[in-house]
A and B are shown apart, each in its own frame.
Chain A
């Protein structure tokens, strides 16, 4: 077909359908962001885990114990897992601001050198915004190690020594997820977790009080900010899911008839 021949000279072979879907979702995100800015705020369901963060911080404040907040093991520049770290940093901004407001210590164990200066600035800025810069302690943002289990051991030791009152873990986690959750439970911390790493979700579900699954962590920054424009962007995720569902159902129905048109379309 002429159209396909000409398209492949502009667009890399096998990537056209991906580009179309990406553009649809991107434009949907921009559209709903603008709608949100215009005051048309979509209603989204409550995410129990995100609502529980304030409760966890409040509980830690009452007990006089620090709040731990971490963003996982991924570097921010990692193409696959970096977005989870960014999501975790968005939550850190919210957590740090609440902790500064309530006068609660927030400890941010860091594993990545690229994340360390960002985390430090986020926390410092939060204290500054609350007018409590004198209470900011740079020692409460310890860079532990770039090694997975060294970081985990350092984190566990810190939680035991400081007697964590709350432990908020949102980001990309691997095997250390269960270790951190279990020690958090043992010291009596209220725990909110979230990751898009499917192999760790079961451990978080079992061992923490609240768990955000997969895409919920990407909505965290928007959800916690309560910014209408940001909340609008969450709707775009659902648009993408609707497109996926339509393609799946069509693919099943058309595939049962023996036609491969959907597969060929997605392979374009």
Chain B
């Protein structure tokens, strides 16, 4: 195997980059390191902004071949690329030639395409949660019954009609929210953090290779 394909190289890179972040967080290492860490923060922001362009390029790389080869539903790929190009061009921040986010076409796309589509997809959750709850919220066991009762109290708490019909629902719902819910949230957060730490140790010690070539399992 060529040396540059050896699995030890990405593992070493992972370890070095992780230690660069972890050690200065805990240990005082002087102004030069602090400045390096601040610059690293700025670089990360630049990379995050640059990722937007990578996303656009990747979409072109994925959909252009579909159009060229006339694969299934190539028309939708064409529509996607045309709309993407249009949105990018009209949204370019060049006010002098009438482009930018004040551009009428850009505003139209945002107000009449992006916003309704995004909102509608999000709104689907209302339908899905009702059908899922109708199907699964059954008191099959003690735990399921407790879940059902707690959920019902909070539904009454959240609906103005609920607190109107059952005034005690507000106080009971607030208590559930502030006490048992908070305790469980903390427990899950602590458990999750511990799991992430141990996963980090496995990764840094080279045992966790699932994110590399699937060699861990």
Interface on A for B, CB 8 Å cutoff? 9-12, 15-16, 18-19, 22, 25-26, 29-30, 33, 76, 83, 85-87, 89-94, 96-97, 113, 116, 118, 121-123, 125-126, 129, 142-143, 145-146, 149, 152-153, 175, 178-179, 181-182, 185, 196, 198, 201, 203, 206-207, 213-219, 221-222, 224-225, 227, 229-230, 233-234, 236-237, 240-241, 244
Contact = CB atoms under 8 A, between A and B. Distances in A.
B113 interface: no
B194 A25 contact: yes
Nearest to B47: A77
Contacts of A22: 26, 197
Contacts of A90: 208, 210-211, 216-217
A244 B132 CA distance: 35
Interface in B41-64: 51, 54-55, 58-59, 62
Contacts of A206: 132-133, 136-137
B201 interface: yes
B28 A11 contact: yes
Contact of B25 (A15, A33, A113, A244): A15
Given A93-B217, A125-B213, A149-B121, A215 B132 contact: no
Contacts of A185: 132, 135
Given A18-B26, A26-B201, A175 B132 contact: no
Nearest to B125: A178
B195 A86 contact: no
A225 B199 contact: no
Contacts of A178: 125, 128-129, 132
B214 A218 contact: no
A145 B212 CA distance: 22
Contacts of B132: 178, 181-182, 185, 203, 206-207
A123 B211 CA distance: 11
Given A175-B125, A214-B188, A230-B207, A240 B133 contact: no
A241 B194 CA distance: 8
Contacts of B207: 33, 227, 229-230, 233
Interface string B173-209: 0000000000001001111101111111111010110
Interface of B: 25-28, 51, 54-55, 58-59, 62, 117-118, 121-122, 124-125, 128-129, 131-133, 135-137, 185, 188-192, 194-203, 205, 207-208, 210-217
B26 A11 contact: yes
Nearest to B190: A244
A55 to B, nearest CB: 17
Contacts of B118: 149
Given A86-B208, A198-B188, A182 B198 contact: no
Contacts, number: 183
Contacts of A96: 214
Nearest to A75: B51
Contact of B190 (A16, A142, A241): A241
Contacts of B125: 175, 178-179
Contacts of B192: 196, 214-215, 218
A174 to B, nearest CB: 11
B62 A29 contact: no
Contacts of A143: 58, 62
Given A153-B121, A196-B195, A222 B27 contact: no
B96 to A, nearest CB: 30
Contacts of B210: 86-87, 89-93, 122, 221
B137 to A, nearest CB: 7
Contact of B26 (A19, A91, A97, A229): A19
A90 B58 CA distance: 25
A97 B214 contact: yes
B174 to A, nearest CB: 19
Given A149-B121, A206-B137, A94 B28 contact: no
Given A198-B188, A214-B195, A11 B213 contact: no
